[in-house]
């Protein structure tokens, strides 16, 4: 190898080796509304290195390089280690899961390294936050050769204050993302959705003043009718004054905010209330220390009264549909505005005023579009199936994801309920885990209802009995039940009766059947559109006889990728319970549900 090349290669090698020099900094608390701030987007092409054996992280003795591997040893001779070179590595799109970008990564579960050079015009009196919309599942982040932190959890944002390592002009970031499934994760190893790995949402460097308004929350108090909220400063050495302007409500306030902790406030106002038929949002302008942030916030109230769900004090029926965060234009994680608008337009065409964003927090754009288009939202964390409920470290992961979800989306009027679990098996450990999580959710956000999707109903003489002990802790009971698919013949569903130990509103959070779009036959032939349509007809008759039913989110808007659905020529790793095919082709059952929702909407208008 020529001297020049050896020298050049060793230069990159040393940069790469140094990039594991460990110097973790604090992960700063999540910044509210990052995309409304001054930012440098790192979206676009990144170098990538596929590393199934984590060679970039462990040496041949399986010792993590970050344990000082490079601190007290000179890098070995280049010839031994010249096997990584980000500069010449292939490129990959960020945001974007890796599975849908390269054939060899379709089923890949493991580590992939990302590398990106970026320029900064670094200012003295500014701080720089490296912000990730999400990385599935575990990310370790290095800037200019120093570890700045790591994050676990595939569907919530995280950030690191990189002011201490960022340079003026040339910088580079390296991220190790590992989507390996592990028993002690949230979710655990078994899920019915594709394990899309990678930097699946936007990455940006946010520039904020030395001390900045890091968090804010505004909501309508259902008792006083006032707009109440809180403001929080970060890195403030002394109390500050925040300007809050809501032009349409003729509100212009200067609020004194203490340097540490939250400052609460209350403003008398009579805003036009946000509701699906008229999703009114107000421009909110917040300024502090030279930074101005604009948001669009809707004001509404949501409560449960007996077995009714009240939106702005009026009973409401939630005409919903479940949605996975998958691109409407094929496969792969959805993340763009076009993805969100398309999925929610499909829901609108169905006649929905409600969507269950399953089974994890969707991207921030989706919630802003739901605010704008007028959808109430069920938002959930992936405490799904057989999580390790007896493990306190696993509880901490669930609580972290719950906190990050609520922190990010607390200003979204569309979100009316948080769900803490989906189809979790009954046990004392599960009740302890989930009741604690529910308590935490109520502590973090008193403005929304709490629910969970349950599939542990008992059989009763005339049908089913809702007796899951978890129902005691939620405001709304979610029921997942597949009459006509996983149990019973479709024709038996209409006569199924639902009994409950609890006087609470029920949402049928999942029902449905699979069908391959375009496959036709008799209604008793599984996988035909006729069969799926027949299941919907009989389940709709069943639901008409559920006196405390207050919403439905059938499973699911569109076919989606799942490793649990291998049936050749029918599923081919697609879960076929969509009312639409993976490319948006309507199946017969789509019309059955659409007509049912039209009839309900007409009744509501009478």
Interface residue list for ligand GCU (CB under 6 A): 192, 359, 422-423, 480, 510, 555, 575, 577
Among candidate residues 11, 82, 13, 90, the one with its CA nearest the CA of residue 47: 90
Q: Pick the closer one to ligand GCU by CB: 142 or 193.
A: 193
Shortest separation between residue 341's beta carbon and ligand GCU, angstroms? 24
Q: Compare residues 48 and 561 and give the one whose CB is closer to ligand GCU.
A: 561
Buried b (16+ CB within 10 A) or exposed e, 270-304: ebebbbbeebbbbebebbbbebebebbbbbbbbeb
The smaller minimum CB distance to ligand GCU, of residues 92 and 383, is found at: 383
C-alpha to C-alpha distance for 325 and 193, rounded to whole angstroms = 10
Give min distance, CB of 87 to ligand GCU, in A: 42
Nearest to ligand GCU of 158, 482 (CB atom) = 482
Query: Nearer Cβ to ligand GCU, position 403 or 562?
Result: 562
State in angstroms the smallest separation of the CB of 44 from ligand GCU. Answer: 33
Nearest distance from C-beta of residue 481 to ligand GCU, angstroms: 9
Measured in degrees and rounded to the nearest 5, phi and psi for residue 203 equal -120, 130
CB 115 within 8 A of CB 109: no
Query: What angle separates helix 364-373 from helix 392-409, to the nearest 10 degrees?
Result: 50
Cα–Cα distance between 257 and 239 in angstroms, integer?
Answer: 6
- Which of these, 324, 325, 307, lies nearest to 316 by C-alpha position? 307
Beta bridge partner(s), residue 320: 354
- Asked if residues 474 and 520 have their Cβ atoms less than 8 Å apart, the reply is no
State in angstroms the smallest separation of the CB of 107 from ligand GCU.
18
Q: Give the CB-nearest residue to ligand GCU.
A: 192
Between 423 and 445, name the residue whose CB sits nearer to ligand GCU: 423
Q: How many residues does the chain have?
A: 606
Distance of closest approach, residue 595 Cβ to ligand GCU, in angstroms: 23
Q: Could you tell me if 569 and 563 are in contact, meaning their C-beta atoms sit under 8 angstroms apart?
A: no
Please spell the DSSP secondary structure of 191-243, one letter per residue: -SS----B--S-EEEEEEESSEEEEEEEEE-TTT--EEEEEEEES-SS-EEEE
Shortest CB 441 distance to ligand GCU, Å: 20
> Phi and psi at residue 476, in whole multiples of 5°?
-130, 135
Query: From the CB of residue 349, how many other CB atoms can be counted at a distance below 10 Å?
Result: 12
Contact 49, 84 (CB under 8 A): yes
Closest CB to ligand GCU among 350 and 556?
A: 556
CB of 73 to ligand GCU, least distance (A): 48
Q: Of the two residues 166 and 552, which places its CB atom closer to ligand GCU in the complex?
A: 552
Q: Are 162 and 408 in contact (CB under 8 A)?
A: no
CB of 334 to ligand GCU, least distance (A): 17
Residue 155: half-sphere exposure toward Cβ, Cα within 13 Å: 31
Would you say 162 or 474 has its CB closer to ligand GCU? 474
Least distance CB 527 / ligand GCU (angstroms): 14
Find the shortest distance in angstroms from Cβ 181 to ligand GCU: 15
297 or 517, CB closer to ligand GCU? 517
Cβ-based nearer residue to ligand GCU, 309 or 513 = 513
Q: Is 459 exposed, middle or buried (0-12, 13-18, 19+ CB in 10 A)?
A: exposed
């Amino acid at each position: 190898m020529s001297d020049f090349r050896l020298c050049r290669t060793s230069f990159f090698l040393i940069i790469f080796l140094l990039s594991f020099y460990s110097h973790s900094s604090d992960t700063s608390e999540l910044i509210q509304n990052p995309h409304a701030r001054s930012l440098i987007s790192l979206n676009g092409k990144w170098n990538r290195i596929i590393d199934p054996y984590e060679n970039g992280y462990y040496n041949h003795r399986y010792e993590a390089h970050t344990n000082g591997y490079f601190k007290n040893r000179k890098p070995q001779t280049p010839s031994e280690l010249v096997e990584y070179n980000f500069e010449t590595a292939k490129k990959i799109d960020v945001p974007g899961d890796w599975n849908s970008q390269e054939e060899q990564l379709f089923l890949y579960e493991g580590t992939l390294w990302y590398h990106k050079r970026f320029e900064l015009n670094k200012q003295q009196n500014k701080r720089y936050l490296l912000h990730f919309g999400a990385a599935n599942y575990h990310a370790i982040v290095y800037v200019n050769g120093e570890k700045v932190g790591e994050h676990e959890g595939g569907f919530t944002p995280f950030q690191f204050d990189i002011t201490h390592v960022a340079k003026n002009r040339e910088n580079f970031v390296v991220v190790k993302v590992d989507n390996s499934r592990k028993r002690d994760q949230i979710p655990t190893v078994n899920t019915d959705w594709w394990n899309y790995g990678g930097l699946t949402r936007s990455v940006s460097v946010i520039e904020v003043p030395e001390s900045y308004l890091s968090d804010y929350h505004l909501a309508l108090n259902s008792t006083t009718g006032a707009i109440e909220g809180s403001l929080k400063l970060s890195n403030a050495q002394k109390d500050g004054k925040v300007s809050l302007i809501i032009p349409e409500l003729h509100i212009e306030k200067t609020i004194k905010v203490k340097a540490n902790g939250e400052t609460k406030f209350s403003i008398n106002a009579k805003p036009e209330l946000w509701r699906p038929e008229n999703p009114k949002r107000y421009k909110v302008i917040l300024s502090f220390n030279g930074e101005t942030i604009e948001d669009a916030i809707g004001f509404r109230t949501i409560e449960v009264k007996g077995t009714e769900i009240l939106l702005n004090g009026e009973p409401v029926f939630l005409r919903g549909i479940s949605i996975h965060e998958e691109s409407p234009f094929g496969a792969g994680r959805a993340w763009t505005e076009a993805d969100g608008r398309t999925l929610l337009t499909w829901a609108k065409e169905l006649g929905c005023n409600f969507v269950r964003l399953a089974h994890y927090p969707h991207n921030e754009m989706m919630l802003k579009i739901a605010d704008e288009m007028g959808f109430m939202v069920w938002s959930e964390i992936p405490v799904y199936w057989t999580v390790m409920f007896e493990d306190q470290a696993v509880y901490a992961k669930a609580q972290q994801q719950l906190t990050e979800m609520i922190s990010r989306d607390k200003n979204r009027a569309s979100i009316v309920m948080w769900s803490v679990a989906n189809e979790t098996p009954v046990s004392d450990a599960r009740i302890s885990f989930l009741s604690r999580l529910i308590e935490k959710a109520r502590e973090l956000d008193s403005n929304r209802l709490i629910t969970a999707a349950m599939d542990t109903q008992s059989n009763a003489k005339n049908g089913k009995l809702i007796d899951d002990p978890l129902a005691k802790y939620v405001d709304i009971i979610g029921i997942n039940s597949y009459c006509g698919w996983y149990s019973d013949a479709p024709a038996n569903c209409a006569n199924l009766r639902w009994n409950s130990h609890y006087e609470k509103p029920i949402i049928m959070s999942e029902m449905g059947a699979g069908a391959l779009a375009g496959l036709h036959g008799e209604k008793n032939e599984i996988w035909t559109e006729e069969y799926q349509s027949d299941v919907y007809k009989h389940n709709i008759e069943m639901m008409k006889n559920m006196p405390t039913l207050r919403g439905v989110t059938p499973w699911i808007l569109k076919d989606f990728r799942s490793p649990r659905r291998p049936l050749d020529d029918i599923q081919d790793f697609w879960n076929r319970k969509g009312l639409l095919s993976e490319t948006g082709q309507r199946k017969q059952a789509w019309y059955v549900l659409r007509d049912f929702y039209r009839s309900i909407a007409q009744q509501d208008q009478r």
